[in-house]
Amino acid sequence: MHRSPRNLLLASAAAVAAVLGGVVALPASPAGAAVGLADVVPVPVSAQPATGVTYTLPSGAAIQTAAGATDVGNYLAGILRPSTGYALPVSTTTGTPGSGIALLLSGADASVGTEGYQLDVTAAVVTLRAQTVAGLFHGVQTLRQLLPAAVEARTVQSGPWTIAGGRIVDYPRYGYRGAMLDVSRHFFAPDVVKRYIDEIAQYKMNVLHLHLSDDQGWRIVIDAWPQLTTIGGSTQVGGGAGGFYTKAQYSDLVAYAASRQITVVPEIDMPGHTNAALASYAQLNCNNTAPPLYTGTSVGFSSLCVAKDVTYTFVQQVLNELAALTPGPYLHVGGDEAASTPAADYTAFMNRVQPFVGAAGKTVVGWHQIGQANHTANRVAQFWGTSTSDADLSAAVSKGDKILMSPANKAYLDMKYTSATPLGQSWAGLIEVQTAYNWDPGAYLTGVPASAILGVEAPMWTETLTKLADIEFMAFPRMPALAELAWSPQSARSWDTFKVRLGAQGPRWTAQGINFYSSPQVPWGSTPPVTRSAYSQIQAESYSAQSGTQTETTTDTGGGQNVGYIAPGDTLAYDLDFGSSSPATVTTRLASGAGSGTIQYRLDSATGPVIASAPVTSTGGWQTWTSTTTNLSGSATGVHRLYLTFTGSAGVDFVNLNWLQFTAGAGLPNAYGVRQAESFASQSGIQTEACTDTGGGQNVGYVSPGDWLAYSNVDFGSATAVSVTTRLASGASNGTVQYRLDSTTGPVIASVPVSSTGGWQAWISTTTALSSSATGVHTVYLTFTGTADFVNLNWFQFNR
């Protein structure tokens, strides 16, 4: 099924401030064109654009829902509020709203069925209609993709929040669109599973299959057999501590999935893949001797004792307890790779246990080897083979089974992308994105009619995966590719158009902190690389590159995110400008529950020269934060990619990072540190707004000809500055930022030309030589000249 033994991731220039509850809400700078209606993933059944029509979400917009859809309205508001900064109140309506966003359970095209939706966008209102809450929820996933990628950020970003006008009518090809997560080889805490639920829900998947038992671990409490978790759940591949879900935790996961319109399908694999159960109870073994716990990756060596009555008591009690916790229609009984169970015994076992599922009010799902056993009502056989035909599959089809498509050489998310992929396996082949996408589930299997196909599922086996970042790296971008197979009509799918639509998802994943594989087959949408000052606070999650880490919500002051689970050998990289004088110290904001390790600051590569080593000791917990300042042992000037590498004992030492900041050397005059644009002493004609530049914060926007900013007590020291670096963005084509001393008409020491950077939040750093000298203390005035031009400023810094 899943593995062979292995060898072991502007608009108008003039804007009027709207005062809402005492808070001045300022319009954001202009942005790029709206996303096309057909440019989403999965591609919709029908998209009819309205030429020249767009809807821009205003700050005072509201979300109005049908009486039964308030949960979907609150879900949408939860996505939009952090990035827009808008209040977006949610209320119910019995009418047809004429403004804002409306989520209605009436009036949709009849073709949308139980999971589809109709989306209408006019200049005045966005109206989403469906026949069910599930349809509205899936429509919301399309709506969020039609907004700019920055909408996925968790901090306030610049808009405008514009959606292309027109109509989408959309509904799924298959009713079963699933992802499987193996929590047995390696255990994953509930928060990780919830994160994956959110990720698959974005692409309209509606089933999460949880592989809850295997040779390496049993992950769900069964009251009648408590040692299944106390013993069988105590380890995992490699010998780690393992873990398990209490019934309350499992029920919470099921409820969370349901809130995302996802059904949980639990799997207890049998009669093979049962070493964790056999190790927990000697009486389940034919020789009445419990084998040792298993932490390897071999398969096919374990089997329940088919001849014992206690085996069937065990199975029935397990299935009954699991059914009582699971409101969905399916129980998965495994049935694969039972090499240690004789064929006749396998058939007899399956024929005896399948009725237990029906008696518990559920439908049997099994891997396609279950075709050897008698058919039961509505049974589903999950195909995981690597060819287009199989005798057991044919038997299942002939008996009336529905087929769930998970061909291992197409749909297994744990297969490596290329031979160089650091995670995963390759026994079923290498699966690049195009391989995962380019097949038709309805026409793939020889002798199996399209009418027999129930849907598509993307399994994720975890022999090599230990954390969320690993799961994400293997799922993205292949999971969205498989989601499109399951949702979109075959006639609408094309690799050439899909790869472009998929590439446009990249900035969304970056905004969400998703660790994805940047396949060379995909033209990724991206923003230009950003080089930042080393002397500003650099958020850990704003890395330019990383290896082995994951981003998570932080409890540190100010909230936001940190980079967690950093293990020995993991790296984070940041593109920084140290200026012309090396810093003296670096401050690291960290948390650790471990006892040792070192964060090395290296230049230009993970093995480059070390300029600082920050020791890591226990801070008292993984969200107990401390700031530690370390003297530099080496120097750094100019622009470098800074690598943070963590050293320590594998499997023992870990660290979490929130931010880092370098401090200028002693005696360096303040002109040579970064000066945020919004830190002016006085100004004329400008406004401050939220910034989408790396690190967030604010910029000064709508700077037009004649506007100026003044910064007092700027000390150049005795050695004159030689250049000034200006961080700016512009959608206009010309103009000049003049740096003047002591007044708006004082001597010009630098003139920085302004040309279009590609957008009002498309930031670049430009370094300009000074045209005259500056020493001592001055008030520096930035004045802007041009003809009906505009510029946004984030920061500036003089260089020696």
How far apart, in whole angstroms, are the C-alpha atoms of residue 269 and residue 379? 16
Cα–Cα distance between 275 and 608 in angstroms, integer?
A: 46
Q: How far apart are CA 146 and CA 389, in angstroms?
A: 40
The residue annotated as part of the active site, out of 115, 267, 321, 337, is 337
What Å distances lie between residue 767 and 166, 423, 451, CA to CA?
Answer: 44, 41, 64
By C-alpha distance, which of 448, 439, 443 is closest to 399? Answer: 448
Alpha helix segments (H runs only) across 110-184: 133-146
Is 668 within 8 Å of 580 (Cβ atoms)? no
DSSP letter assigned to residue 339: T
Three-class DSSP labels, 342-383: CHHHHHHHHHHHHHHHHHCCCEEEEEHHHHHCCCCCCCEEEE
Q: Show the beta-strand stretches assigned E in 632-747.
A: 639-647, 655-663, 675-676, 682-684, 687-690, 698-703, 708-715, 723-730, 736-741
In this structure, the chain runs to a length of: 800
- Contacts by 316-319, CB closer than 8 A, 24 or more apart: 316/353, 316/356, 317/222, 317/224, 317/225, 318/222, 318/224, 318/225, 318/228, 318/268, 319/268, 319/353, 319/356, 319/357, 319/360, 319/362
Burial 533-561 (b: 16+ CB within 10 A, else e): bbbbebbbbbbbebbbbbbbebebeeebb
Q: ∠516-519-524 over CA atoms, to 5°?
A: 80
Phi/psi at 403 (5° precision)? -115, 130
Return d(Cα 585, Cα 436) in angstroms, integer: 48
Check if 552 is active-site.
no
- Locate 255 and state its tokens: 């409820």
Instruction: Give the span between the Cα atoms of 499 and 522, in whole angstroms.
Output: 5
β-bridge mates for residue 180, sequence order: 209, 459
Q: Catalytic amino acids? A: 337
